[in-house]
Amino acid sequence: MCKTEDSVERGNYREVWKIKMGFLGDGKTEKLKHSMVSSSRMKLWLIRAITTALLWTCVVQLMALGEMWRPRLLKSWPSCLNHSHLSLAVDESLPAKVVLPPKRVYKNNGYLMVSCNGGLNQMRAAICDMVAIARYLNVTLIVPELDKTSFWNDPSEFQDIFDVDHFITSLRDEVRILKELPPRVKRRFELGMFHSLPPISWSNLSYYLHQILPLVQKHKVVHLNKTDARLANNGLPIDIQKLRCRVNFSSLRFTPQIEELGRRVVKILRERGPFLVLHLRYEMDMLAFSGCSHGCNSDEVEELTRMRYAYPWWKEKVINSELKRKEGLCPLTPEETALVLSALGINHNVQIYIAAGEIYGGQRRMASLAAAFPNLVRKETLLKPSDLIFFQNHSSQMAALDYLVSLESDIFVPTYDGNMAKVVEGHRRFLGFKKTIALNRKLLVDLIDQYSNGSLSWDEISSIVKDTHADRIGNPRERLVIADRPKEEDYFYANPHECLQSLDEPLRYT
């Protein structure tokens, strides 16, 4: 039935066409024929284009199948149609997908604000403690405020040193962290409706649970205005200890600019051979604070004393420098350091990167060390001034750069057990127990004095120094616990053994 109707329609169409052809006349008929030819050519061109496209599609598909199935021998042949390099380039240009941990859901008890005090590494450890405390109290932590009133007078904010977005997102499964208080709560804070206090040093979690949490619940916002050493080294749950490590070794990442510059310094050093980082803690502030003036002239001693009295929060004013030195409580001088490194058998041609600020006494005090170890370098000598221009007058950012280089060194030698020495030592333990020589300063100054007055020969002093420090190189060991004397215990961040591999496991190196 359908076919009959279709035939009739086609017949009618031909009749109408003949009538129209006759009506138009010969001239118009020719024009119409020409138009029909052009239309046919266009259709033919379109058919060819579509056919070509389909053929190329088939070719591409066959090439893809060929990449999957052809033998390896054929894969190795050069081919202008091989897309593997192009695909690789495209893949490398795409940003890596960041998988965020799921948010931890909890009833928020309030907001915790903290103002860190001290230098970079003192603040670094404090930030780790404050995250653990916020997690334990189920509060929202505001991104910590860094110290701007210390001797260094560094105006850097948290985000100038650390990758703040990574800090927040990497810990979202543990604690909620905000860059600032929510507007409603911020207004309360600006009106003075909050509580501020310095927490008690070396406190355990019960102190924060029974003393700090009620204040948070009452005032909604609590501001801790000092954060150094406010959490105990020992006696804490394993999950709290591991959280402190997670913040320190993973979440507190420096800004991309600092990280990139650190990699560049390490690359320069590596191209020249092995290198040792010497944390020569012999800056003016360290000497003034500690009262250690061995080797200084009378004018320098007076200058250091004036500085010590100028800072009221440096509580110790009257200090016997020589007595303190004999107790091993002073940083080694550059001259003493030269003798110690030589006695340890350090190669005199090795690169020594000085991780420190300006050495007090300048070239005069560095002369002995430079004579014994001529390959002394600093970031200022390895980089162009333009590379460091944005770091000038920002001591914490400079310290961050030294921190990164210290982690990567073949050997790390601190001349004083300050905060940087301790935190770097712990981080190097975490990275596979990298060699860190913890100097026994009390023994060393006694040996140096005996050598200087002729009581000991060089061979004798060298033998004693090597034997004494054979097991003081950052090996695995339990952290020392001294009940009721937390200041005399091993510092958690120097040896976070709960976060390290088991002592009976083979060492891992990363």
Domains of the chain: 111-251 (3.40.50), 256-499 (3.40.50.11350)
pLDDT, one tens digit per residue, over 162-197 is 999 999 999 999 999 999 999 999 999 999 999 999
Q: What percent of the chain has pLDDT over 90?
A: 75
Among 48-62, 144-158, 161-175, the range with the most confident prediction by mean pLDDT is: 161-175
pLDDT, one tens digit per residue, over 67-116 is 333 333 223 333 333 333 323 333 444 556 678 889 999 999 999 999 99
Q: Looking at per-residue confidence, does 373 or 506 come out higher? A: 373
Cα 215 from chain centre: 33
Spell out the SS3 assignment of 281-310: CCEHHHHHHHCCCCCCCHHHHHHHHHHHHH
pLDDT of residue 487: 92
Structure tokens at 255: 């800004």
pLDDT of residue 19: 38
Task: Please choose, from the candidates 398, 415, 424, 400, the residue with its C-alpha nearest in 3D space to the C-alpha of residue 280.
Answer: 415
- Could you tell me the pTM of the whole model? 0.80
Task: Please choose, from the candidates 357, 285, 342, 290, the residue with its C-alpha nearest in 3D space to the C-alpha of residue 321.
Answer: 290
pLDDT of residue 38: 52
pLDDT of residue 390: 87
pLDDT, one tens digit per residue, over 235-244 is 999 999 999 9
Task: Please choose, from the candidates 115, 114, 126, 113, the residue with its C-alpha nearest in 3D space to the C-alpha of residue 419.
Answer: 126
pLDDT band at 158 (very low <50, low <70, confident <90, very high): very high
CA–CA dist 414, 403 (Å, integer):
12
Q: Looking at per-residue confidence, does 150 or 406 come out higher? A: 406
Q: What is the H or E stretch that residue 126 is in?
A: helix 120-137
Q: Are the C-beta atoms of 353 and 268 separated by less than 8 Å?
A: no
pLDDT of residue 346: 98
Look at phi and psi of residue 474 and say left if phi exceeds 0, alpha if psi is from -120 to 50, else beta.
left
Please list the alpha-helical segments (H only) found in 145-282.
158-161, 164-170, 183-190, 205-207, 213-219, 238-246, 256-272
pLDDT, one tens digit per residue, over 257-294 is 999 999 999 999 999 999 999 999 999 999 999 999 99
Question: Is the pLDDT assigned to residue 65 strictly greater than 80?
Answer: no
Question: Is the pLDDT assigned to residue 13 strictly greater than 50?
Answer: no
pLDDT of residue 368: 97
Q: Are the C-beta atoms of 435 and 473 separated by less than 8 Å?
A: yes
Question: Mean pLDDT across the stretch 203-211?
Answer: 98
Q: For the chain, give the mean pLDDT.
A: 85
Coil vs helix vs strand at 218: helix
pLDDT of residue 392: 83
Question: Is the pLDDT assigned to residue 144 strictly greater than 80?
Answer: yes
- Token look-up 């092995």 returns 274
Question: Is the pLDDT assigned to residue 245 strictly greater than 70?
Answer: yes
pLDDT of residue 111: 98
Q: What percent of the chain has pLDDT over 70?
A: 79
pLDDT, one tens digit per residue, over 323-357 is 999 999 999 999 999 999 999 999 999 999 999 99
Radius of gyration (Cα) for the chain, nearest Å? 36
C-alpha torsion sign, points 370, 322, 487, 439 = positive
pLDDT, one tens digit per residue, over 69-82 is 333 322 333 333 33
pLDDT of residue 310: 92
pLDDT band at 44 (very low <50, low <70, confident <90, very high): low
CA–CA dist 466, 461 (Å, integer):
9
Q: How many CA atoms, within 13 angstroms, populate the side-chain half-sphere of residue 128? A: 27
